[in-house]
Amino acid sequence: MYTTLYPMTYYFYPLLEDKFTDSSHRDTFRQILNSPKQAATENLLYLHIPYCHDMCRFCPFHVRVDKGSEIYDRYTEALCKEMELVAKLPYVSDMSFKAVYFGGGSPSIFSVNNLRKIFAHLSKCFQIEPNAEISFEGEPKTLSDPARLDLLKEYNVKRISFGLQTYNEKIRELFNIAATLKDVDNCTKNARERGFEDINVDMMYDLPGQDITALNYDLAHLKDHDFDSLDYYNLHYFAFPKKFKMAMKDGTIPSKPSQQMHFALQQQLRTTLKEMGYYDVADPIFAKKPQVCDYFRLIWGGGKGDHSAEMIALGSSARGYVNGYCYMNLGNTEQYLKTVEAGQLPLEKLSLSLPTPENRGAAFFVKFFEIDKTHEKAIQSIPQNVWNFWRQNGLIYETAESWKLSEVGKLWTTNMMLDTFEVHQREAAMTSLGFVEDRPGVRTGSF
């Protein structure tokens, strides 16, 4: 049985490795983009707006604290120009999109005029399916603005999401979370009045010093708000600066919960959220409806062993997946702006392709707690010794139509996902882990 929990969570696979300019696959990838798309797939369009008013200390993402309308206006123009560049690519021109996601950063800090321009250009450049799931992320203070919410309704946004993280005021202050709980109340109230289908919040557990009592405090307040869905992440400590980690070490700040407490917290939140009417739809997602949103389903290949869903990425540091390759746009916003303004695609990093493309479905099946038996190649891409280990230790069990994770298996998803990785990808994972462990405060974006 596993003994030590693997500390990294992966949201993209295959893993990014080479700078685009150095990649041996660069020409192949460009050829793909400049050729008509052959196979029909479900597709996600992701737009990244990297700006925030303040920097939360725990945040691992590529974000910028640049205040002022001038830089926001410039970024809006660049994002619209990138849409035009990407939409003209032969591979993309005939794609239709089942879901659209605005992520960040905090897209809601942009003005109504800039957001309107982005939405209008989006509709002009891309084929958005009539019933597409359009999601918009923000921070609760600016997202509570009636004018912004009205604009989102006008452009058929169905799902809004914002970071709540915790109701514990001391932790909120420690993490430099600028939005107040009053902002959370206002945002929730105003969004409900406008009839959004899904009001989602990000929450975290494994907070410094957190125990079951502290977790129950958050869960009790969540019950009062009764959100439609929750992304309940365990806190990763990589992004905290060195001073913060030293303060935990000397006891000035409470320490990270032990692995034993981590498991206890995870089991408690799963049990309590089930009692509150939430389905455990994916790792780490809970929803009042028994299915995961299309954003997560598509970013993870399509669900339950599928590997085929693709993702077009727009904006600085945005990540996408096309025909076997993951890629990332320039993370430095100034470089991104200059590159797009010069009429060039802002590509920065590229993955290697997988020898067995279906291995992507195998890697992500752990997120959905299930793999359909119809995805035979995905199942076969998992080493037999790994499969035997899971069965012998009760991490998975068989049904007539699929293999599923047991409740014990759900505790070890990071280890199980790593064990599905193709050999070279596993080596890349170890490299990325060493990178973040050696650099306190590093902000890498999601792996």
Task: List phi, psi (to 5°) of 184.
Answer: -60, -45
Q: What is the pLDDT of residue 337?
A: 97
406-416 confidence digits (pLDDT tens)? 999 999 999 99
Q: At what angle do helices 69-87 and 112-125 cross, to 10 degrees?
A: 0
Q: What angle do CA 135, 141, 146 make, to 5 degrees?
A: 70
Q: How far apart are the first and last CA of the chain?
A: 26
d(CA 310, CA 301) in angstroms, rounded, equals 7
Q: What is the pLDDT of residue 446?
A: 56
Q: Which of 118, 99, 101, 100 shows the shortest CA–CA distance to 110? A: 118
Q: Which two tokens stand for residue 84?
A: 């035009």
Q: Which of 378, 389, 375, 370 shows the shortest CA–CA distance to 421? A: 378
Q: Which residues contact 237 (CB under 8 A, 6 or more apart)?
A: 58, 245, 256
Burial bucket for residue 293 (CB in 10 Å: 0-12, 13-18, 19+)? buried
Q: Which of 296, 11, 266 shows the shortest CA–CA distance to 161? A: 296
Q: What angle do CA 401, 404, 405 make, to 5 degrees?
A: 180
Q: At what angle do helices 69-87 and 333-341 cross, to 10 degrees?
A: 50
**Strands 127-138 and 96-104, bridge-based pairing:** parallel
Helix (H, G, I), strand (E, B) or coil at 296: helix
> What's the predicted TM-score (pTM) here?
0.95
Q: What H or E segment, with its residue span, contains residue 272?
A: helix 259-275
Q: What is the pLDDT of residue 333?
A: 94
Please indicate whether the domains covering 41-299 and 359-437 agree at the CATH topology level.
Answer: no
Which residues, in sequence order, are bridge partners of residue 136?
Answer: 102, 160
Other beta carbons within 10 Å of 397: 13
- What is the sign, positive or negative, of the torsion defined by CA atoms of 135, 136, 141, 145? negative
Could you state, in order of their start, the residue ranges of all structural domains in the chain? 41-299, 359-437
Q: What is the pLDDT of residue 332?
A: 93
What is the CATH class of 41-299?
A: alpha beta
d(CA 374, CA 379) in angstroms, rounded, equals 9
Q: Which two tokens stand for residue 360?
A: 């992507």
Q: Which two tokens stand for residue 192?
A: 């409900």
**Which amino acid makes up residue 283?**
D
**Is the distance from CB of 8 to CB of 433 less than 8 angstroms?**
yes
* CATH code at 359-437: 1.10.10
**Is the distance from CB of 107 to CB of 49 less than 8 angstroms?**
yes
Q: Which two tokens stand for residue 107?
A: 């897209």
**Which amino acid makes up residue 194?**
R
**Strands in 324-435 per DSSP E:** 325-329, 347-351, 370-372, 396-398, 402-405
DSSP single-letter state for residue 97: E
Helix (H, G, I), strand (E, B) or coil at 81: helix
Below-70 pLDDT ranges, the chain: 67, 437-447
**Is the distance from CB of 425 to CB of 17 less than 8 angstroms?**
no
**Is the distance from CB of 286 to CB of 228 less than 8 angstroms?**
no
Q: What is the pLDDT of residue 438?
A: 67
- Radius of gyration over every alpha carbon of the chain, rounded to an integer in angstroms: 21
